[in-house]
Structure 1
């Protein structure tokens, strides 16, 4: 009876969120999935119409409804451009949670999320082991970008060109730090995120270098867990709440001024989703999550706003390369950060900044979307590749590790000699 009551409450909450949608169709013009398929069911308006009768459709064809709702990048383009201010991302996440609660997780997701990801030490240990043996199943795809591909046909990997697991993850070099305020009289908590830790440790090293250069004290708790977005995007609230509880402990007790991350998705999740979901745990947890969220910033935003980073005097000196920028959806559309990374790039010595056409258009990764709908993901990513190449840039930068993975795949497939870097890497190199 309790489960039925919870379901009734959740469906009622969905109804409250849906009433503001006017079915105007403005979402069609910005949805990357609709632009690829031109199917009404792939755009927000079509999905909202589906959700409007969710209670009945759950009984008739729950799996079909779940599949249709999951064909979404959760990029937030529709929400950012909605004239009615419909909280579309909240609606989709809630609907996915309702359906997952009704149908259940697939055996694979249950194994990954509930038996592995919610146990950070186990998760990190398994991937460390995987990094040692990945060469058995993979071969080099593109030496310039350092990508790998599968040696044998794999339904999971397919023909992707992917970045291999790091031989030495970030946490091995920085298993924990806890210093004072530093010469700048500011103490910064650092949340690197899973991809930086396990695949792109150089990004984490760059953040540490930059923070130390500016005289920041650093608080880096050991055994950090995933921010939880992969679980929530799959409708697994149970795993998300476990990870949230795990992360609330070190970040609610640490004495710091600002929490920074080099991952747009982690930043958005911490700022927007942690407080909302923490309310399901307890009022105290909600307050803790809100305090953390209010102190969380993207690394480029933090540098520009706290240190007035101005390299303009050096800009263009000894220019040898051109650089362009891709706006991660969760950075620009979710938390409104776009000018800060450009300010850093425009001042880099040795680089000329070139603006990319459709810089804020989704790259097509979308986390698990890339795994479930790779054909669509790669077509959307192919458009991003064309825009990158059209700039003639030597380097494309961004502020999201997932976007880096997608652009690396697309450029590697074409054997294009365009380096893919995080903005903080270039800034650290310039110091």
Structure 2
């Protein structure tokens, strides 16, 4: 057959993917596969697996609706080889293809495997850049060249200028690049925090939930009340809901924590951006438009945009610049094992118990819970970065190694010795008491 086999991974669920750019529906085949190797190389949270499998199946249906041939391998297919490489080999045989095109993955481990496929499977392999991001790795490497330490703030300013976001000519709107000084208010316990947008599982999602409950029975997490968006249309609804109901107060309360309230004013779209259902550029423009329209204040919009085109792009740049050595860094020589309560939640420390409970139930905790509660304890206790990284990669539905590893090793644990962050983010109980009501019941 003269067509091209195009592999789409579970975190690449967008029609704008580089590997699909020149697809010919008449001759090409899209391969998608649920493989046990990716579910169990770390034992991912049940909710994360269910979200990705359901989103993958919905995306496959959307491609088929365009008239594209999709070869979709389910986890419970008796012939499933259990690995990406094995499924590529089977698909090459089935379709008699001689060329494979794939977009670069989000993990060094997978990229290293892909580079061997050409020899292993006697097929020409083209690995394309992932242009969903706002800063290609080559551009980041140019910016980082010659710098002994990297600081997100300077990189963020470059991105603002390059993409003309919140700019007034050559200067930032409002006269400042950063409005964090206005974004550190303690929680107002009288706030009526909007409920997160949730979607009732359809037939596809129900099938996936049953499959995951069966095949991942021993994995961390719960599947009760599953309500994640699993299509692009639903993810866009979540974005619109955030812009309309949460963004105006996001800045003021982005660091605040309230007992029994895991969602606060955060966007809850990291799952969807990292899986491809939303693109960072469109999210940034939606927030910027809210400011231009007078719907949200500048401190909220700037702080939100900084997390995406600043921090998110910066973290990815460091990952690809420094891997594979970055994964082995342990500047502080931390060596303790991860306490069992990170898995069970059985601890008398209310801040940790609250954050772990939300993580177990929803595969989610917001960035201050992750950094200043869960991560802060691991830093102070001297937990080995290998164990902390594995835990964070397992438990969050938005966690992929490119985003998890630099955040944890660099920002949380100072394991890179200050390459990413200017200081360890260590704090005592006074900070948590000021920014939450957790200590009231501890």
Q: TM-score if structure 1 supplies the norm length?
A: 0.30
1 or 2 for the larger relative contact order (CA 8 Å, sep ≥6)? 2
In proportion to residue count, which structure has more helix? 1
